[in-house]
Amino acid sequence: MIKKISVRQKKIIEYVIIFLLIPTIIALGTLVFEDRKYAFITLAVTILACIPLLLTFEKRTDSTRKLIIIAVMTALSVAGRFLFALVPGFKPVTAIVVLTAIFFGGEAGFLTGALSAVLSNFMFGQGPWTPFQMLAWGMIGLVAGFLARPLRKSKILLSLYGIVAGAAFSMIMDIWTVVWYDDSFQPALYIAALLSSLPYTIMYAASNVVFLLAMIGPIGKKMERIQTKYGI
């Protein structure tokens, strides 16, 4: 019973944020920053969208193990960026996020994604793009969590998800680039941005597929091994 109430409270907080806080901030932003209202709104909404998801973690009764697994997976995805630094676009971040989501749930996936963005930017440079990366990688994990069962069963679906996730990441980041640049959403500029990053996107999507296919088997075994060895 107690748990149900707290879940409900959490929901209420989320609704308050989604239906009250976001519109208020958008309205205020449009008033003060007349010229740049869209840039401001996209940034504000992105940050606010991350908050409820990050806060739920605080209230959760998660085990120490899950805590550590998120830390390990995040560190792996960041350290992996260095391992494959020579090949542009070849990054294990998305694959790690998806795998975390598949084996430990969407929330763990979201957190791994969002934290990977923050932590890797400690090394590669923070900026206004950080919240967008957080949201993009986080959502990739969250959605993978919902699709955990089919993704675990079918390698075709998994590969497909890798491609879609790679494309989605580029598309989300390019929206930000375009809106931030001249505070409007010009389709021509957006398409140009997408095209210019196409080789990178293709590489990225391909690397997702490679990583996912290479790691889904071994990682499953490893999880099993850890669980039997330590009886958790």
Partner 1 sequence: MDLLQVRDVTFRYPTSGEAVLNGMSFRIKKGEFVVLCGETGCGKTTLLRLIKNELAPHGERKGRIYFSGKDIEESEDNEITQNIGFVMQRPETQIVTDTVWHELAFGLENMGLSTSLIRRRVGEMASYFGIGDWFDKKTSELSGGQKQLLNLAAVMVMQPELLILDEPTAQLDPIAAADFIATLQKLNREFGLTILLSEHRLEDVFPVADRIMVMGEGRLLCYDTPGNVGTFMNQNDKLRLSMPCAMRVFHAFDFTEKSPVTVKEGRTFIEDHFDRKIINLRREDRKSLPMQTKGSEEANKESVRKLRSKSYGTPALSFHEVSFRHQRDEDDVLRYTSFSVFENEIYCILGGNASGKSTTLRVAAGVLHPYSGKVNLFGKRLSSYKAGSLYKNNLAMLPQDVQTVFIKNTVREELGKDYKQPQGLDFDFTKLMDKHPYDLSGGEQQLCALAKVLQQEPRVLLLDEPTKGIDSYYKAKMINIIRHLKQEGMTILIVTHDLEFAAHCADRCALFFNGEITSEDAPWEFFEGNNFYTTAANRMTRNLYEKIITVEDAIEICRLNQRDDS
Partner 2 sequence: MNTFKRFHPVTIVVYFFVVTGFTMFYNQPVFLVISCIGALIFSILLLGRELIASIPFYFLFFLGAAVINPLFNHNGTTILFFLNGQVITKEAVIYGFFMAIMLIAVLMWFRALSILMSSDKWLFLFGTVTPRLALVMSMALRYIPLFRMQVQKIQQTQKAMGAINEDSYLSKGAGSLQIFSVMVTWSLENAIDTADSMRARGFVDHHKKNYKRSRFVNYKFRRSDGLLIFLVILLTGILSAGILKGAISYSYYPTASKLLFSKESIIPYAAYGILVLLPAILEIKERIQWIYYKSGM
Interface residues with partner 1 (CB under 8 A) are 221, 225, 229-231
> Smaller CB distance to partner 2: residue 43 or 168?
43
Query: CA triplet 125, 129, 132: central angle to 5 degrees?
Result: 130
Q: Which does 198 bind (CB under 5 to 8 A by kind): partner 1, partner 2, none?
A: none
Residue of 106, 134, 211, 212 interacting with partner 2 (CB under 8 A): 211
Sign of CA dihedral 122, 127, 131, 133: negative
Q: Least distance in Å: CB of 232 to partner 1?
A: 9
> Smaller CB distance to partner 2: residue 154 or 186?
186
Residue of 4, 5, 64, 156 interacting with partner 2 (CB under 8 A): 64
> Smaller CB distance to partner 2: residue 115 or 168?
115
Residue of 46, 50, 89, 90 interacting with partner 2 (CB under 8 A): 90
Tokens in use for 155?
A: 């390698």
Query: What is the DSSP track for 52-112?
Result: HHHHHHHH----HHHHHHHHHHHHHHHHHHHHTTTSTT--SHHHHHHHHHHHH-HHHHHHH
Residue of 89, 92, 105, 141 interacting with partner 2 (CB under 8 A): 92
Q: Least distance in Å: CB of 50 to partner 1?
A: 22
Residue pair 113/145 in contact (Cβ under 8 Å)? The answer is no
Say how many Å lie between the first and final Cα of the chain, rounded: 26
User: DSSP state, 18?
Assistant: I
User: DSSP state, 17?
Assistant: I
Q: Which does 231 bind (CB under 5 to 8 A by kind): partner 2, partner 1, none?
A: partner 1
Cα–Cα distance, 210 to 15 (Å, whole number): 39
Residue of 33, 45, 48, 194 interacting with partner 2 (CB under 8 A): 33
Number of residues that bind partner 2 (CB under 8 A): 62
Q: Is 188 in the site for partner 2 (CB under 8 A)?
A: yes
Residue type for position 98: V
Q: Is 122 in the site for partner 2 (CB under 8 A)?
A: yes
CB under 8 Å to 194, separation ≥6 — which residues?
A: 170, 171, 174, 201
Q: Least distance in Å: CB of 64 to partner 2?
A: 5
Other CB atoms within a 10 A radius of the CB of residue 202 amount to 15
Give 96's Cβ-side CA count (13 Å radius). 24
Binding site residues, partner 2, CB under 8 A: 29, 32-33, 35-36, 39-40, 54-55, 57-58, 60-65, 67-72, 74-76, 78-80, 82-84, 86-87, 90, 92, 111, 115, 118-119, 122, 125-128, 180-182, 186, 188-189, 192, 210-211, 214-215, 218-219, 222-223, 226, 230
